[in-house]
Structure 1
Amino acid sequence: MPDRKIAFLVAAEGIERVELTEPWKAVSDAGYEPVLLSPKAGEVQTFNHLTAAETATADQTVGDASVDDFAALVLPGGVANPDALRTDAKAVAFVKSFMQSGKPVAAICHAPWTLVEADVVRGKRMTSWPSLQTDLRNAGAEWVDETVVTDGNLITSRKPDDLPAFSKTLLGALG
């Protein structure tokens, strides 16, 4: 049922573990079905900052996914994760289509890099890990240093410490 599925889009490695697992648990506990998407089938590697943590298996490739199948999109951070996603044309196209759909898109930490590549941040008020503020401003966004920022269907947060507010805001956007 599309209105109960939440897409989590990640690259093959470099995903900040808690930025995947905490929102995943929140949507699952709220009765939604989280679905792990990645550019390639198989395992993805999460990290605790720069140390490898557990792996997870992608449920579906982003190339085989349709925005129509999901109620929301979550973009976890980690430095390498969004950096890899923004070089994958299918991932970027999926993110752009999701933003254009008006459905909630939630991005934390370094994840807005993928949004920049999708050219969907112009005119948006948003936050991120501080090192992305120049990239976001150069792409036309208004960057602010706040725990969580909602602008239209876009929800952004800065870091793992913001996860409780990030997850709560995402669930609120889902109704």
Structure 2
Amino acid sequence: MKVLFIVGDEYEDIELLYPFYRVIEEGFTPVIAGKEKGSKITGKHGYSVVADISFKEVNPEDYLALVIPGGRGPERIRTLPEVKEITRKFFELKKPVAAICHGPQILISAGVIKGKKVTSVASIKDDVIAAGGEYVDSPVVEDENLISSRHPGDLPYFASTLIKVLKKK
């Protein structure tokens, strides 16, 4: 019952930590993936986490869901082939994918956003639309296996929706 978090440097600290701890509270095991196993990944506000696994080691079939926190992290890792492949595979398997704030940048780079209803931080709204997504300005948007939210203020809606979906698995 593992939940994968893909994380890049300068992630938005609370957008990782809030759902990370909620997942634990509900009895699931969060796993942090980074560029290298054991590497320290530092958030925008100075909190650090250690990668449990490298992106190259991830097998999406081993996880219930994928969580993509925002901040600058998605921008830093969105072009990595393994990050795009992980994301595509979660969509192929129809497993839940939860992206908040700048997280949809990874969805855009992975080519999985076309035709999906999605929300994000306002500054990437045009990117979402250009990639074929239908932008919805709402605290949380669910479309099939995709859960998305706009910013840290939406975290209660984001996390509760993620937990609701995980409990159905």
**TM-score bin (small chain):** over 0.9
Which structure has greater strand proportion? 1
1:38 to 18, 34, 38: 34
1:84 aligns with 2:80: no
Q: Answer with 35-44 or 69-78: which moved more.
A: 35-44
TM-score (norm 2): 0.96
2:51 to 40, 51, 58: 58
Q: What is the Cα-based RMSD across aligned positions, in Å?
A: 0.7
Unaligned runs of 5+ in 1: none
1:93 aligns with 2:79: no
Instruction: Tell me by how many angstroms 1:171 deviates.
Output: 0.7
Which residue of structure 2 lines up, in the alignment, with residue 25 of structure 1?
21
Unaligned runs of 5+ in 2: none
Which residue of structure 2 lines up, in the alignment, with residue 6 of structure 1?
3
- One-letter identity of the residue aligned with 2:7: V
TM-score (norm 1): 0.93
Separation in 2, partners of 1:55, 1:131? 25
Deviations 1:75-102 (A, max 9, x none): 0000x21111112111111111111110
Instruction: Tell me by how many angstroms 1:14 deviates.
Output: 0.9
Q: Answer with 92-101 or 106-115: which moved more.
A: 92-101
In structure 2, the residue corresponding to 1:34 is in which secondary structure? strand
Aligned length: 166
- Kept after mapping to 2: 8 A contact 1:76/1:108: yes
Separation in 2, partners of 1:131, 1:57? 29
- One-letter identity of the residue aligned with 1:5: K
Could you list the structure 1 runs, at least 4 aligned residues long, displaced by more than 2 angstroms after superposition: none
Instruction: Tell me by how many angstroms 1:121 deviates.
Output: 0.5
Which residue of structure 2 lines up, in the alignment, with residue 164 of structure 1?
156
Separation in 2, partners of 1:99, 1:38? 20
- One-letter identity of the residue aligned with 2:150: R
- Kept after mapping to 2: 8 A contact 1:121/1:140: yes
1:104 aligns with 2:101: no
- One-letter identity of the residue aligned with 2:3: I
Identity %: 38
- One-letter identity of the residue aligned with 1:34: P
